[in-house]
Structure 1
Amino acid sequence: MDAPCTSLDQVRQRIDQIDRELVTLLAKRGGLVTQAARFKKTTDDVRAPARVEQVITKVRGLAEQTGASPVVVEQVYRAMIAAFINEELDTHAALQADTRTP
């Protein structure tokens, strides 16, 4: 754990660093989501509500283990998953269109 911050500026600097790390991780996750679209046959496969709930259960447990708020983690993950599903639906539709083009 980092030493406690001694100023608001220091808090903001640390948050900015975490934001850079989070965005990098989101980019990696997004790349995998794009790859997953290739393996899914239908839009129902993309939406995968059972998988969404499996992920939510997993991250709530991780939140409890790490001292994060399970409520906040769930809200963030639900929003993130919804955004990635929308992006994956677009990717999936484009891939399906490509396979139908002679």
Structure 2
Amino acid sequence: MAVNCTTLEQVRSNIDRLDQQIVTLLAERGQYVSQAARFKKDTDGVKAPQRVEQVISKVRDLSHTVGANPDVTEQVYRAMIAAFIQQELAEHAALAGVDRSSA
């Protein structure tokens, strides 16, 4: 729960503290994304649009529960998922022995 700050410096300090935690969690999430590539047969499995919508629905519901703006949460998650899909496609291609950077 956010504390009531009395200065802009306090606000920024708390945002910096949260950014440290968020980036740490993104790194952990990215490690799981890399592992997921091993279990998917093809690029359609990597893109998994039904799974994306399932995650979006879940985080929108969670936003309501914790008092976050569900529209902001959805936008952040869609951007994050798109970036992780690109990472996973690269992992999947590497596992398949295909160099996508030269294609």
TM-score between the two structures when normalised by the length of structure 1: 0.93
Query: In structure 2, what is the Cα distance between the partners aligned to 1:58 and 1:52?
Result: 10
Following TM superposition, where does structure 1 have runs of at least 4 consecutive aligned residues deviating by more than 2 angstroms? none
Any gaps of 5 or more consecutive residues in structure 1?
A: none
Instruction: State the percentage of identical aligned residues.
Output: 63
| Structure 2 SS opposite 1:38 | helix
Query: In structure 1, what is the Cα distance between the partners aligned to 2:61 and 2:28?
Result: 22
Alignment of 1:65-80 (within 5 A): 65-80=65-80
Query: In structure 2, what is the Cα distance between the partners aligned to 1:41 and 1:33?
Result: 14
Report the CA distance between 1:3 and its aligned residue: 3.0
Query: In structure 2, what is the Cα distance between the partners aligned to 1:40 and 1:16?
Result: 36
Number of residues of Structure 1 aligned to a counterpart in Structure 2? 98
TM-score between the two structures when normalised by the length of structure 2: 0.93
CA root-mean-square deviation: 1.0
Any gaps of 5 or more consecutive residues in structure 2?
A: 99-103
Deviations 1:36-72 (A, max 9, x none): 0000010000000000000000000000000000000
